[in-house]
Amino acid sequence: MPSHNLAKLKIDDLEIIGYSVAAEETVVAMPQLDTCFDIGKAPDQVISINNVLLSHGHIDHCAGIAYYLSHRNFSGQKPGTVLVPGNMIRPIQQILDAWGVLDGSKVPANLVSVEVGQEYEIKPNLFARVFPTKHSRGSVGYTVIEKRKKLKSEYTELTGPQIVELKKQGVTIDYPVEIPIVTYLGDTQYAEFGQLDYVANSKILITECTFYEDEHRERAEIGRHMHVEELAKLVRAMNNKHVIITHITHRTSLAAAKKMLKKAVDKQDMGKIIFLMDKRARLQ
């Protein structure tokens, strides 16, 4: 019996499983990308995923890290790779060291300190690019990008042997292309993320939208979170095909949030937005 009853969505061939309620827990995994964004309380379903990408140090986003790593060790899996914003690497290591003392054995981990503007290979041809967000000191978001090579248009008519021949002659017949698959914003205030082309053009955008009600604008400002009016502005400025909303406050019901979203967002954008925690959108 899995530890959590997770939300489950499917977009084309990509599954998205997770749980996200503000201040409670956020974990969003994409098994086909071997990637888990944040790790809340480490649900059983994400333990076998090899890469965890942490956005910031709030406990509802990364309390599960020691359990994830230790449980992989316990079940004979290789240490998980955890991308950690640079300013968090020391405290995360200290947490793991302390758990190692309590547990009687070291918690094996492959911690990678990440910097804004850099990218990290998560599996062959798949990279996580890091960009800054506006939430806590050093908080980051990630875009998972597939890198492929595409045949130049002048060679698309050639047969296999002709291509092999050209390659032998040292002719460059292809060029690199980048396909931004998904962007995860973690927790953040509104910022002009659309200025980053790989964010604006990600097929899937996973974004927080914590607050909806008019009287919650100040809460959004203080907690450095997004209000639905800002989400509407954000979505308008981007080209994402699908937008998944995470991190709703428990102060607003999903039904009420949906209504306020509908009011705030442009009509043509409404069809591409889903709430991660919307049971009606789940595919089990």
Q: Which is closer to Zn ion, CB of 46 or CB of 107?
A: 46
The number of C-alpha atoms within 13 Å of 176 and in the hemisphere containing its C-beta is: 5
Distance CA 56, CA 187 (A): 8
Q: Choose among 208, 179, 214, 178: nearest CA to 191.
A: 208
Please identify which residue in 58, 71, 272, 282 interacts with Zn ion, judged by CB under 5 A: 58
Q: Which is closer to Zn ion, CB of 41 or CB of 72?
A: 41
Least distance from Zn ion to the Cβ atom of residue 58, Å: 4
CB 244 within 8 A of CB 203: no
Least distance from Zn ion to the Cβ atom of residue 187, Å: 4
Q: Choose among 92, 95, 81, 2: nearest CA to 49.
A: 81
Least distance from Zn ion to the Cβ atom of residue 190, Å: 15
Which positions from 182 through 221 interact with Zn ion, judged by CB under 5 A?
187
Distance CA 230, CA 236 (A): 10
Determine the interface stretch with Zn ion among 43-51, 53-61, 146-154, 275-283 (rule: CB under 5 A).
Answer: 53-61
- Residue 87, φ and ψ in degrees, nearest 5: -75, -5
Q: Which is closer to Zn ion, CB of 60 or CB of 229?
A: 60
Q: Which is closer to Zn ion, CB of 129 or CB of 247?
A: 247
Q: Which is closer to Zn ion, CB of 127 or CB of 211?
A: 211
Q: How far apart, in Å, are the Cα atoms of 33 and each of 182, 196, 251, 280?
A: 10, 21, 33, 24
Least distance from Zn ion to the Cβ atom of residue 7, Å: 16
Q: Which is closer to Zn ion, CB of 116 or CB of 163?
A: 116
Q: Which is closer to Zn ion, CB of 6 or CB of 62?
A: 62
Per-residue 3-state assignment (H helix, E strand, C coil) for 160-222: HHHHHHHHHCCCCCEEEEEEEEEEECCCCCCCCHHHCHHHHCCCEEEEECCECCHHHHHHHHH
Determine the interface stretch with Zn ion among 50-58, 82-90, 227-235, 265-273 (rule: CB under 5 A).
Answer: 50-58
25 binds Zn ion (CB under 5 A): no
Determine the interface stretch with Zn ion among 9-17, 56-64, 233-241, 251-259 (rule: CB under 5 A).
Answer: 56-64
Determine the interface stretch with Zn ion among 60-68, 84-92, 101-109, 213-221 (rule: CB under 5 A).
Answer: 60-68
Residue with tokens 């032998």: 168
Give ∠ CA 8-43-57 in degrees, rounded to 5. Answer: 105
**Binding-site residue total for Zn ion (CB under 5 A)?**
3
Determine the interface stretch with Zn ion among 12-20, 57-65, 89-97, 249-257 (rule: CB under 5 A).
Answer: 57-65
Q: Which is closer to Zn ion, CB of 40 or CB of 80?
A: 40
Residue 199: its H or E element: helix 197-200
Least distance from Zn ion to the Cβ atom of residue 132, Å: 14
Residue type, 260: M
269 binds Zn ion (CB under 5 A): no
CB burial of residue 271 (10 Å; 0-12, 13-18, 19+): exposed
**Parallel/antiparallel/unpaired status of strands 242-246 and 204-208:** parallel
- Which residues here bind Zn ion, judged by CB under 5 A? 58, 60, 187
